Amino acid sequence: MCDDNIIGRFAGTFIIASLALGYWVHPAWFLFTAFVGVNLLQSSFTGFCPLERMLGWGGLAGCTPARRQRDQSTAGR
């Protein structure tokens, strides 16, 4: 599980970078902007965020894998 601020920072960075690349490099980079937007929209409905899972697997930015978090919550029972 990650802090929502971390996900927002990554999403904002990806959007700004893809807009800059779309403007200065090639317009096809705008598709990446659309992908990030669609991913944010679907995660707001489903609660599933692929970036959060990847960060958890890598143990980056203070994120913990969903399995470890699930194991910790059941250990206290």
DSSP category for residue 25: T
pLDDT of res. 56: 84
pLDDT digits (tens, 9 = 90+) for 29-76: 999 999 999 999 999 999 898 888 888 888 877 787 766 555 555 555
The tens digit of pLDDT for each residue in 12-25 reads 999 999 999 999 99
Whether residue 18 contacts residue 30, with contact meaning beta carbons closer than 8 Å, is answered with yes
The domain locations on the chain are 4-75
Other CB atoms within 10 A of residue 68 CB? 12
Non-local (6+) Cβ contacts of 61 within 8 A are 2, 3, 6, 55
